[in-house]
């Protein structure tokens, strides 16, 4: 019955509230929740929970969600793998955290068990259950139960997510393109622009390498103009064989600046339907070569062997906070935060905060952020 209800949730996500309750009752857990978290916007997109009232859920969202020490370590766990709090966290550190003392403990919560149901570049979904101290540590039967249900839950969430993406295909694509730091220009068969993302609009507004003339891209460099037109024509001609990575064209600018354009056809194979909503036949990705190739936080942590707790401290400090301020936000002690920071220094080969942040920010995701772009910086100078 539980498995059948899990698959019913694929077509009607509102059934997750009752389904989470069934699993919690079957496993004798005091609390259960399935949530999808927007990592980019740092907010909950969707949450179904049992075991607490809406007032408690509101307090969590407003005050304690950002302190939850489980969130970052869970990003390092593969989808469907069942883990507990003690597997993710330093247990003594957790028991001394504000999150445990002010939120978990007063509710009678002690340890959690669960798994990721969805993980993309921007979103993470998790199903988790909590027991009180008398119910913990979790037993082999708990692992068996959730391990049996995990494939079904993950499959149901994936189906629901795919159906939702299909329903809002154009809106989702546009939102995705808008957060890229590379300029993206979609053109039709007549090489007219049918869509530009925000980064592209900024590149055109700055105008030191690209402009728009008669609704077509126009490089300011005289030699780059015919080169770009030829590349777009070749990319959109069925008979032309092009590299799998597209055709690359240099776009020199003034003041020793410049951009690099990569043209990719959208009217071939499976790409044919990708931009159908925009009637586009080619995508032109325009990148400032000064920008360092990006890595997401998860890859950065794996690259340098950071633990989940260490990554939490690093992410908290990334906006420019001191280690003391980061500790306050995360609800951990100053000494604990400083210990994690020293471990990060040792693993990354850095020795001070400015050096570490330069390394990390150079590996930031290729998404929009409220910072001045390299081209805008050059313009200002």
CATH of the domain at 337: 1.10.10.10
Say what the pLDDT of residue 367 is: 47
With respect to residue 310, please indicate whether it lies within any of the assigned structural domains: yes
Please say which residue of 257, 287, 317 terminates a domain: 287
Pair of tokens at residue 107? 């509710």
Say what the pLDDT of residue 362 is: 72
Say what the pLDDT of residue 372 is: 32
Say what the pLDDT of residue 137 is: 93
269 dihedral zone (left: phi>0; alpha: psi -120 to 50; beta): left
Say what the pLDDT of residue 99 is: 94
Positions of the chain with pLDDT lower than 70, given as ranges: 38-46, 121-122, 161-181, 238-246, 255-256, 267-279, 289-296, 363-381
With respect to residue 176, please indicate whether it lies within any of the assigned structural domains: no
Say what the pLDDT of residue 43 is: 56
Quick check: 263 and 184 in contact, CB under 8 A?
no
DSSP letter at 215 equals T
Pair of tokens at residue 375? 């081209």
134 and 88 belong to one structural domain: yes
321 and 229 belong to one structural domain: no
The domain of 315 spans: 297-380
370 and 313 belong to one structural domain: yes
Cα 272–278–279 angle (5° rounding)?
A: 60
Cα 167–170–175 angle (5° rounding)?
A: 110
Burial state string for 89-106 with b = 16 or more CB within 10 A and e = fewer than 16: bbeebbeebbbbeebbee
CATH of the domain at 282: 3.30.450.20
57 to 36, 135, 305, 326, 328: CA distances (angstroms): 14, 22, 34, 24, 22
212 and 194 belong to one structural domain: yes
Instruction: Give how many domains the chain has, as a whole number.
Output: 3
Say what the pLDDT of residue 176 is: 58
227 and 92 belong to one structural domain: no
143 and 43 belong to one structural domain: yes
Quick check: 90 and 113 in contact, CB under 8 A?
no
117 and 60 belong to one structural domain: yes
216 and 327 belong to one structural domain: no
């Amino acid at each position: 019955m539980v498995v059948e209800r899990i698959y019913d949730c694929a077509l009607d996500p509102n059934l997750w509230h009752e389904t989470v309750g069934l699993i919690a009752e079957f496993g004798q857990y005091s609390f259960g929740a399935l949530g999808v978290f927007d990592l980019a916007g740092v907010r909950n997109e969707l949450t179904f929970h049992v075991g607490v009232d809406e007032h408690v859920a509101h307090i969590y969202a407003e005050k304690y969600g950002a302190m939850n020490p489980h969130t970052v370590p869970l990003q390092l766990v593969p989808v469907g793998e069942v883990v507990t709090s003690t597997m993710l966290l330093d247990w003594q550190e957790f028991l001394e955290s504000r999150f445990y003392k002010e939120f978990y403990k007063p509710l009678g919560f002690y340890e959690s068990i669960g798994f990721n149901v969805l993980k993309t570049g921007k979103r993470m979904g998790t199903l988790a259950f909590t027991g009180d101290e008398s119910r913990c540590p979790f037993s082999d039967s708990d692992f068996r139960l959730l391990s049996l249900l995990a494939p079904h839950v993950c499959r149901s969430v994936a189906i629901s997510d795919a159906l939702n993406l299909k329903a809002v295909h154009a809106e989702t694509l546009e939102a995705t393109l808008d957060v890229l730091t590379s300029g993206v220009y979609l053109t039709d068969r007549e090489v007219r622009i049918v869509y530009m993302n925000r980064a592209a609009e900024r590149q055109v507004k700055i105008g030191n390498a690209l402009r728009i003339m008669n609704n077509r891209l126009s490089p300011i460099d005289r030699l780059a103009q015919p080169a770009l037109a030829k590349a777009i024509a070749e990319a959109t001609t069925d008979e032309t064989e092009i590299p799998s990575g597209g055709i690359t064209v240099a776009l020199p600018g003034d003041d020793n600046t410049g951009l690099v354009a990569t043209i990719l056809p959208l009217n071939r194979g499976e790409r044919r339907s990708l931009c159908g909503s925009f009637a586009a036949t080619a995508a032109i990705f325009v990148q400032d070569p000064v920008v360092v190739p990006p890595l997401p936080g998860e890859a950065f942590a794996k690259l340098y062997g950071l633990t989940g707790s260490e990554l939490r401290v690093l992410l908290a400090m990334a906006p420019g906070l001191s280690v003391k301020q980061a500790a306050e936000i995360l609800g951990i002690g100053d000494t604990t935060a400083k210990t994690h920071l020293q471990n990060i220094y040792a693993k990354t080969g850095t020795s001070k905060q400015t050096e570490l942040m330069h390394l990390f920010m150079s590996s930031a995701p290729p998404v929009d952020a409220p910072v001045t772009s390299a081209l805008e910086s050059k313009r200002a100078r």
